[in-house]
Structure 1
Amino acid sequence: MVNQSKKMLVAGMLLTGMLANYTGRAQVQSTSQTQSQPQKTTWTLQECVEYGLEHNLLLKQSGLNRELAFINAKQARNNVLPTVGASTSYSFNSGLNNDPTTGVLVNSNTRTNNIQVNANVPVFNGFQLRNSIKQTYLNYQASLSDLEKTQNDVLLNIVSQYLEIILSDELLAAAKLQLASSKDQAARTQKLFQAGSVAENNVFEINSQIATDEVSIINAQNRRDIAAVNLMQLLDLQNLPDFKVVKPDIKDPDEDVITFNADNVFDVAQQRMPEIKAADLRAQSALVGVKVSQGALLPQLSLGGNFNTAHFNLLKDRVVDQGPEVTTLATVGFVNGDPNLPVTTAITRRQPVVEDYTYFTQLQDNRGIGLFLNLSIPIFNGFSARNGVLRSKINHKNAVLNTEITRNQLRQTIQQSYADAVAAQKRFIAMKKQLESFQLTFRNAEIRFNNGVLNSTDYNVARNNFTRAQLDLIQAKYEYTFRLKVLDFYQGKKITF
């Protein structure tokens, strides 16, 4: 009982040590991963793009898909090589068995070891191997375009979230200014109320406006935090609570002139966008796939060979030499049946020289080699081959339609971005004029309110109109900027500010 308790104690100590070791390794690994990422908190757009293209998880996954496509293409080329395989078996039999030395059934225990090597090489298979090589190579090229498409998507998402952070920062700054203005106005209103110049309701309304401005700050801060989290996820960054971006110098939309149209952008984009290349390559691959399936209707010819040998335990000795001639006298009868008068004759025979028949010597002596041609002619297989051809033709038609769908989607994206950019530019110009008018209106209302000749309701209406115009102008500016950068990207221009 004591020994058992000691064993359990030792086992518990070992288990505890293993768990501690594992936990320590996990903590070290987690710490190393955290330390491996950059600790900087302020990022430029170029730094975000470079880091994101290197560490984004979707890009890593797309890179693995590319490696799989490469392996498939490599395997298609390797399929033209011969296939070689080896096998061995060991059997034990007891009772009535065939003696391999004499071919006679004997009652004994036998042990047999068989060894075989087979090789086969395709000679003709309806050109399926050759077409499979073409198809997998086209699929590999398409996977390269898929990777480039993922890179483009990550790039645009990084730019979008980068601008979203800047937009949120400006909205947050504007909301803080409005709150400061509301607090100043609340102090003035309180003095006017104490002087009897305004009603107490004005104080309540301005305090309500302060609460509204505080909610606006919370919403703007939340929008900014979400944009920062989205960008950090794109960069695969963690534990950066004070993540900031460098605000570039972005000119106002009314200072810019759009010198192209959507059709010009599409003409350039369809020649260089990887999603178009990938769709075209897959249509070509599907066409080659039709030829692959048609190869199943043709005869197939292969060349093969085999080598085999065996060892039998009953073969214990072997003759290595016929040996010298030995003459002996043999009695063949007696004269008149008298045993004292034998009749003899000389018999000459050889005395063979034998030795142990070893395992490897048997394997060498029992070798056998064979060659064969195998011709397979499809006659009827339940129409599976013909239906395979029909399916491959439908897949090709579907791939061709997908190329048109991809082009239409690209055209629609470009047209939508162009329309949004033009609308944002026009909206910015109109809102800039509107902001100027609302600003004058608000200043006039503020003076009148401070002098007690305007009620708080009309003052808040003028103030809210001015605030909303400011926010709309900021949003129109960054919407135009992003849409224009998307159009520049489709034209092959580098995204810079």
Structure 2
Amino acid sequence: MRKFIFGLIFLIGGFAVAQDSVRVLTLQECLNMASSRNLTIKQNQNNLIGAQSNKRQAYYNFLPNLNASGGYTYFDGNNIDFSGQVVSNTSRSSRPSISSNLVLFNAFANHHLLNRRKHEYESSRYQLEDSKIAIKATVIRNYLSVLVDTENVRISDQRLEFLEEQLDREKKRVSVGVGNLETVYNFQSQVANEKLNYVNLKNQYQSDLLALLQSIQLENYSGVRIAPLDLESLEILIEYDPYDQVLEEIMQYSFLLKSAEESESAANAQLKQTKANRYPTLTAGAAHSRNYTSILDVEYLEQFENTPSNSVGVTLNIPIFNRYQIQNGINNSKVTMLNAQLQNEQTILNVTNAAQRDYLDLVSAQTSYKTAQENYEALNQTFEFIKKRFETGNTDFYSYLESLNNKNRAEAQLINARYTIVLRKRILDLYRGNN
């Protein structure tokens, strides 16, 4: 009856997704989707574009500027002429000009700004690369959770089917007078408990699957499943490199740490740039202009040709008092630099802690795998033995149930350890640059 009901549910579900065939996603497909769709990655890509633009502008600051200006004035009113008489006139005038200025000295503020923009660009570039690795690690962890959930659901389903078969068997024994109702009631209780456990495991599976699909920005969730890993062809117990070597490679490769170091260097350059505002600046300038006025009875082009004016000069600007704005800017830059140093130290700590945690998870899984495998084989053998004794009435129900629980628990631990070894290795390889 139970298989019939599950078949009916599956059939109805098949009609519900008739338009959308079941889609099975592999781990690599999930990683590719996350890399191309993740919003954080896209934001960091935009930030990199902005940093590139700022760096380009810092180079342009070394060039002279070039500006053109022009205007047209119409005047209608009274004026006092050279004889002191008030005269009324109407005139038109214009003064087109072109000018250029070049900073000769500003205490290397432009150099410090360029250095700052370079470090900010590198920091943004490393942030982009780190976000790609971070989302991949998140997808792998979510994928691991779904795989483990899938196996737990499978084990629970097998356990429920087995308990229901035993319940039917005991009911038949009671019906022919060779069984007892206590055993029937015990099996009914265990079936009910296992059904609740099965539902909870299914809910956990759905929750973790949703988290995985959300992490890869998949819009249509219907009919989506994930492919299991082929653990049979993987050498999961290959000895991994020592922790010190792994940590050293992670610290050298970590884009997050490189980004923090570049941010600290950018903050140092910003402080030097701000301090440069204390010093004088020297600027050279040149201008060329022409004049026209309708007061003179001369054509516009003739006036334009005959009224050239050129100027060349230098300007020295010495800051004396500016309401402490420069000092306030220096103080703010110092705070930015100190915070960048602290952030760099915190990043080193975070990267180290993450490496320790992932490595410990891998080592723990490897250590427990062989034991879990031996344990499962022994408990499975014990269960088969106790099962036969229970069926022949030579052992009690509670011993039988305890043996079944031990077997199921050992099977779940074994599968969990195998998946953890494979995927934790992959996460560590990501952080080491072996991707």
- TM above 0.5, yes or no, is yes
In the alignment, is the contact (CA less than 8 A) between 1:253 and 1:477 conserved in 2?
no
Once residues 236 and 336 of structure 2 are traced to their aligned partners in structure 1, the CA distance between those partners, rounded to angstroms, is 50
Q: Secondary structure at the match of 2:231?
A: coil
Structure 2 CA distance for partners of 1:369 and 1:419, relative to 1, 3 Å: same
Cα separation, partners in 2 of 1:470 and 1:411, compared to 1, 3 Å: same
Moved more, 443-452 or 133-142: 443-452
Gap change, CA 1:102 and 1:45, over 3 Å in 2: farther
The Cα RMSD (Å) is 3.2
Does structure 2 conserve the Cα–Cα contact (< 8 Å) formed by 1:449 and 1:459?
A: yes
1:77 aligns with 2:59: yes
Contact 1:128–1:295 (8 Å) recurs in 2: yes
Q: CA deviation at 1:266?
A: 1.1
Higher helix share: 2
Q: Note if 1:125 corresponds to 2:106.
A: yes
Report the equivalent of 1:271. Answer: 252
Please show how residues 388-467 of structure 1 align to structure 2 within 5 Å.
388-452=329-393, 456-467=397-408
Normalising by structure 1, we get a TM-score of 0.74
The equivalences for 1:83-482 within 5 A come to: 83-97=65-79, 105-250=86-231, 256-315=237-296, 317-318=297-298, 357-358=299-300, 360-452=301-393, 456-482=397-423
Q: CA deviation at 1:473?
A: 2.6
Residue 130 of structure 1 and its aligned partner are, at CA, apart by 1.4
CA distance in 1, matches of 2:59, 2:415: 58
Distance in 1 of aligned mates of 2:410 and 2:386: 16
* C-alpha distance in 2 between matches for 1:181 and 1:77: 75
The one-letter amino acid paired with 2:406 is N
Further displaced range: 208-217 or 137-146? 208-217
Q: Is the 8 A contact 2:140 2:427 kept in 1?
A: no
Q: What is the alpha-carbon distance in structure 2 between the residues aligned to residue 151 and residue 44 of structure 1?
A: 18
Aligned: 1:43 with 2:25 = yes
SS of corresponding position for 2:228: coil
Q: Which residue of 2 aligns with 1:61?
A: 43
Aligned counterparts of 2:286 and 2:235: Cα–Cα separation in 1 = 80
> Is the 2:22–2:223 contact (alpha carbons within 8 Å) kept by the matching residues of 1?
no
Name the SS for the 1:301 alignment partner: strand
In terms of Rg, which structure is larger? Answer: 1
Structure 2 residue identity aligned to 1:432: Q
* Alpha-carbon separation, structure 2, partners of 1:42 and 1:83: 60
Question: Deviation at 1:259?
Answer: 4.3
Task: Report SS of the residue matched to 1:96.
Answer: strand
Deviations 1:277-297 (A, max 9, x none): 222222222222232122112
Task: Describe the SS at the equivalent of 1:86.
Answer: strand
Q: Secondary structure at the match of 1:388?
A: helix
Matched-pair contact (CA < 8 Å) for 1:97–1:108: yes
Aligned 8 A contact 1:301 1:374 in 2: yes
Offset from partner CA, 1:301-355 (integer Å, 9 cap, x none)? 111233444544444x33xxxxxxxxxxxxxxxxxxxxxxxxxxxxxxxxxxxxx
Q: Is the 8 A contact 2:236 2:422 kept in 1?
A: no
Q: Give the Cα separation in 1 of the matches to 2:393 and 2:276.
A: 94
1:172-227 Cα deviation digits (max 9, x unpaired): 22222112212211211211222334443433442333333333333333333334
- 2:362–2:424 Cα contact (<8 Å) kept: yes
Alpha carbons of structure 1 residues 442 and 187: separation in structure 2 relative to 1, 3 Å: same
Amino acid at match of 2:384: R
Greater strand proportion: 1
SS at match of 1:371: strand
Length-normalised TM-score, structure 2: 0.83
75-84 or 382-391: bigger deviation: 382-391
Q: Residues 286 and 396 of structure 1 are in contact (CA less than 8 Å); yes or no, is this contact kept in structure 2?
A: yes
How far apart, CA to CA, are the structure 2 residues paired with 1:48 and 1:135? 37
Task: Note if contact 1:97-1:110 (Cα within 8 Å) is conserved in structure 2.
Answer: no
Percent of pairs with identical residues: 26
1:237 aligns to what SS in structure 2? coil
Q: How many residues are paired up? A: 416
Is there any run of 5+ residues in structure 1 with no aligned partner, and where? 1-38, 319-356
- Counterparts of 2:209 and 2:220, CA distance in 1: 12
Change (3 A) 1:114 1:444: same
The answer on whether the counterparts of 2:236 and 2:418 sit within 8 Å (CA) in structure 1 is: no
Question: Which letter maps to 1:65?
Answer: N
SS at match of 1:260: coil
